[in-house]
Chain A
Amino acid sequence: MSQSDDTLLLANVSRRGLLKGLAGASALLLAARWDIGLANEQAQFGAGAMPGGWVDNPNVFIHIDANGLVTIVNNRAEMGQGIRTSLVMVAADELGADWDRVRAEQADGDQDKFGNQNTDGSRSMRHWYDPMRRAAAAARLMLEQAAANQWGVSVDQVRADIHKVVHPATGRELGFGQLAEAARELDVPGREGLVLKSDSELRFIGKESGLINGELKSTHPKAIDGEDIVTGKAIFGADVDLENTLYAVVARPPVYGATVKSVDDSEALKVRGVKKTVRIDGTGQPAAFNPLGGVAVVATNTWAAMEGRRALKIEWDNTPAGNNADYTSDTYRESLEKAAQSPGKVIRQSGDVEAALKEANKRVSATYYMPHMAQAPMEPPVAVVRVSGGKAEAWAPVQNPRATREGIAGLLEIDLENVTVHQTLLGGGFGRKSKPDFVIEAAQVAKAFEGQPIKLQWSREDDIQHAYFHAVSVDHLEAGLDGNGKATSWRHRTLSPSIASLFAPDPKHKAGFELGMGFNTMPFSIPAIRLENPPAPAHVRIGWFRSVYNLPHAWAIQSFAHEMAVAAGKDHRDYVLDLLGPGREVHNLTVGDGWNYGEDPEMYPIDVGRMRRVIERATEEAGWGKERAKGRGLGLAFHHSFVSYTAVVFDVEVDDGGQVTIHRADIAFDCGPQANPERIRSQMEGSCVMGIGIALQNEVTFQDGVAQQSNFDRYLLPRMPNAPKVVRVHLIDNPDDAMGGVGEPGLPPVAPALCNAIYAATGKRIRRLPVGDQLSA
């Protein structure tokens, strides 16, 4: 963990207050935005509080060769969010590098060297923007010093220009490449001596480019991997090609926790190309990141391994799975809906909800259901692992290389230093690849083939049936309204199995970080509030899915707020603005949340004013309030997550057959300062499509513990005709607040906004996702 030597400047003042007061003054911003831990004290919040913390040593991240080619190391997983372009762009801008002479290099998994690399929680840019700018500013200063030394002048007589350092007094100049060797020998300057570029000196950071709401603006700087992707040269997990590779697939127990009772592999071994079968053990429950066990078939190519697996005859033993083998979705949903009728663990309380409900002029009540979903990245899990001489080397598309190393080291009982993890591009992650079970599984097989690389490929069926599923959820809400329709009370019970069930005996209650995802942080201003969490057991592996528990919380709360507006006979937008109350900052601790996405509540309060602003912007842009034709309607939802603010309005048409056409989506988004607006827009567009799938299509059901969907024939994902005909992303210009997340906060309001639009178009209220064929009934 890096320790700041700057201790006193900010210790006694609100960092955010300082930040706001000093916007634009770069030298001070350097300190103000800095994730400063007190001397000799572990940082409590932000990047410094993450395992491995941050690193800003230029020698770790920036290399310049004699020809002036600048290599910038990206330490975060690239899974489509564009971080390889965006972080490299941040450093290149601060350094003053010519974009055409910049390349990215992907860091291996090495937290001690590169700082935290766990790419989840929408943290990459907000945690690495400052360290990368400092690393680049330090490198620039070293180049300037090298030039000054060569010219025999003081460093303040020279200045860095684009890819060169100049001495204005004499007109002399030296290219970065000419200075690189000498600069490398210099001491790294202290942070106190660094001056970041002012906003007016920046060429890339915060600048709009690319496709903006249908208009193509400048395309500079182009995506780092763009050309490799469109020509098929980009290397994803399965594209790693080592000599002498064998190919493996695994037959896993269909029920969580089951084991192999017996296996007959005689037919499998007759398949041409099949070399061997390997029985691998699971570790039982809780599974954590460990493989599920089963039988691996190893062959000379992928297809032979798959054919061999088809020929296996396996008898499974469900005894160790316990009642997971009885897990059936309809029954489970009914049990949660029943449990939602009784009080649960109290999470947050103010006023007397029961009394207020009794006195209410009108009561509104609804129960919402969100099913299990599989992340289903287009690239199914895959890994290449070689175990040799007490060492292991892996090539894999993982979001968390550290956990991958630890898992392999634990399995093989070797030191962490003897495990190398090379990060490939990820063909989508969405939380699935936060769990390195598939790489550890490949190591299990590779252990049996000393020295030989094993490429272990999951099929789509494997991926959907053995996902770490998004938690199924039931949310039951009840509100009391007074004679004017104004809310006087709000009671919300939320029930979901917890991700914590992966790591410890099932707690049956949501963990703090799960509740903090939009449940107890609900920002409405209502006199009496009672939030409860009755128990819900886990029967499958529950895991992170993009936006995680924000999905059911936003879906239920945003649907219900609309139902309240309808019951009150009020306009939905006006009603929710009234529910929110005036702009104000809510401290997370005052609403019972001790998490706040790991961020300092001083810098990141729940800002109701920002929430109001995205609602106002999205509704204005969408033409809220105008009359719509029959069968057509607008729907609104909004949500605060990953310390950013999103509002979505859909313009939807539903025909007599129940077919939904999405004419337009207006998305307003406020993440504070925008490092790369182009990729922020693309994340909003993508979240919109993924959320449409959550609303209309995604569902994995279980029967007797076995997932009933296995491929895209029954696990439906949005296709081009499902996407909005027009998508408009409205980025809120807000450079003065602290930087928020981007990859996930666009998703939670999408499904409720769409269902609210469906209500506006048809009068039909959706309370159970997905919509499926509910509209054609």
Chain B
Amino acid sequence: MAVSLTVNGRERMLDIDSDTPLLWVIRDELGLKGTKFGCGMGLCGACTVHLNGHPVRSCSTPVELADGGDVTTIEGLSQDGNLHPLQKAWVEHGVPQCGYCQSGQIMSAAHLLQHNDAPSHDDIVAALSGNLCRCGTYSRIIAAVESVVVDDAARPDRGEA
């Protein structure tokens, strides 16, 4: 089928089988390699992207469900050339070990922060429990997310929300 997607702000047209998972469209057809294949069943979260503002497991999202939609991948998380605050915090806190799952972790965390200015520890755990990390970086992920929340809360222009 003919599919139209806006990926990281850029419109893409494809002729592709409708049941092809969005993950393989992103990786094999569009050449964006930051979104990872981990399980193919939506169980590990390594393939997490935002579709119309919602985090989805792209490995189990048929591309037809994304037709006409707006997709953000890790490559498009920050549009201004600077690191997203979460990306910066990830580096500062030395979160990644092998790094393979971290695109998905960051995309899940970014969605959480878009909808919750001041997530609690439990909110963070709940939002990220679908993302596996075999290296076991969970405590640093939590610390990195919390640092962004603290930094944000400390900003004078926030706080009335």
Contact = CB atoms under 8 A, between A and B. Distances in A.
Interface of A: 78-82, 210-211, 214, 216, 219, 222-223, 225-227, 229-236, 238-239, 241, 247, 272-273, 301-304, 306, 376-380, 425-430, 457, 459-461, 678-679, 682-683, 685-690, 711-713, 717-721, 723-724, 726-727
Interface string B1-41: 00000000000000001001100100111011111111111
A711 B41 contact: yes
A687 B138 CA distance: 12
A378 B98 CA distance: 9
B43 interface: yes
A216 B92 contact: yes
Given A234-B99, A427-B98, 14 more contacts: A78-B98, A219-B91, A222-B91, A230-B87, A230-B102, A231-B75, A232-B32, A238-B27, A460-B38, A460-B41, A682-B137, A689-B133, A690-B135, A721-B125
A306 B132 CA distance: 23
B91 A226 contact: yes
Contacts of A80: 96-99, 135
Report, nearest first, the 9 A-B pairs whose CB atoms are least far apart: A232-B34, A689-B136, A427-B100, A80-B98, A80-B97, A229-B99, A686-B136, A232-B74, A239-B33
A302 B137 contact: no
Contacts of A723: 136, 138-139
A679 B135 CA distance: 12
Contacts of B91: 219, 222-223, 226-227, 230
Contact of A225 (B33, B37, B99, B143): B99
Nearest to A461: B40
A231 B136 contact: no
28 contacts: A80-B97, A222-B91, A223-B96, A225-B99, A227-B91, A229-B102, A231-B87, A232-B33, A232-B75, A233-B34, A238-B27, A301-B24, A303-B21, A378-B98, A378-B100, A378-B101, A426-B98, A460-B38, A460-B39, A679-B94, A682-B94, A689-B133, A711-B41, A711-B43, A719-B129, A719-B132, A719-B138, A720-B131
A304 to B, nearest CB: 8
B106 interface: yes
A454 to B, nearest CB: 14
A303 B38 contact: no
Contacts of A214: 143
B46 interface: yes
Nearest to B28: A301
B51 interface: no
B54 interface: no
Most buried by B among A306, A376, A428: A428
Contacts of B32: 232
A226 to B, nearest CB: 4
Given A226-B91, A233-B34, A428-B134, A211 B143 contact: yes
Interface string B72-105: 0111011000010011001111111111111100
Interface string B41-69: 10110100000000000000000000000
Contacts of B78: 231
B111 interface: no
Most buried by B among A236, A712, A718: A712
B138 to A, nearest CB: 4
A302 B24 contact: yes
B94 A210 contact: yes
Given A219-B91, A247-B28, A378 B75 contact: no
Given A219-B94, A226-B91, A377-B98, A721 B129 contact: yes
Interface residues of B, number: 62
B136 A376 contact: no
B148 interface: no
Contact of B37 (A78, A272, A380, A713): A380
B112 interface: no
Given A682-B97, A688-B136, A720-B125, A711 B33 contact: no
Given A80-B99, A219-B92, A232 B73 contact: yes
A376 B38 CA distance: 10
A310 to B, nearest CB: 12
Contacts of B24: 301-303
B37 A457 contact: yes
Interface of B: 17, 20-21, 24, 27-29, 31-41, 43-44, 46, 73-75, 77-78, 83, 86-87, 90-103, 106, 125, 128-143, 147
Most buried by B among A80, A232, A301, A713: A232
Contact of B147 (A216, A222, A304, A378): A216
Most buried by B among A78, A229, A430, A724: A229
Contact of B36 (A222, A303, A378, A712): A378
Contacts of B102: 229-230
A509 to B, nearest CB: 31
B34 A717 contact: no
A232 B103 contact: yes
B139 A727 contact: yes
Nearest to A718: B136
Contacts of B21: 303
Given A232-B73, A678-B94, A711 B39 contact: yes
A339 B30 CA distance: 57
B61 to A, nearest CB: 12
Nearest to B128: A720
A690 B134 contact: yes
A301 B86 CA distance: 32
A686 B97 contact: yes
B33 A241 contact: yes
B36 A689 contact: no
A226 B135 CA distance: 15
Contact of B20 (A225, A303, A378, A719): A303
Contacts of B101: 378, 427
Contact of B96 (A226, A306, A713, A724): A226
A380 B132 CA distance: 13
A712 B43 contact: yes
Contacts of A428: 97-98, 100, 134-135
B33 A231 contact: no
A665 to B, nearest CB: 9
A677 B25 CA distance: 41
A379 B99 CA distance: 10
B106 A720 contact: no
A355 B106 CA distance: 62
Nearest to A722: B138
A272 B17 contact: yes
A378 B93 contact: no
A378 B34 contact: no
A210 B138 CA distance: 16
A720 B140 contact: no
A742 B36 CA distance: 28
B148 to A, nearest CB: 12
Given A230-B102, A380-B38, A459-B40, A690 B96 contact: no
Nearest to B147: A216
A162 to B, nearest CB: 23
A405 to B, nearest CB: 23
Contact of B106 (A230, A377, A380): A230
A311 to B, nearest CB: 13
A235 B27 CA distance: 13
A263 B33 CA distance: 34
A246 to B, nearest CB: 11
A231 B74 contact: yes
Contacts of A724: 139
A457 B37 CA distance: 10
Contacts of A720: 125, 128-129, 131, 138, 141-142
B113 to A, nearest CB: 15
Contacts of A427: 36, 98-101
A297 B46 CA distance: 25
A223 B137 CA distance: 15
Contact of B134 (A78, A377, A459, A726): A377
Contact of B40 (A78, A211, A460): A460
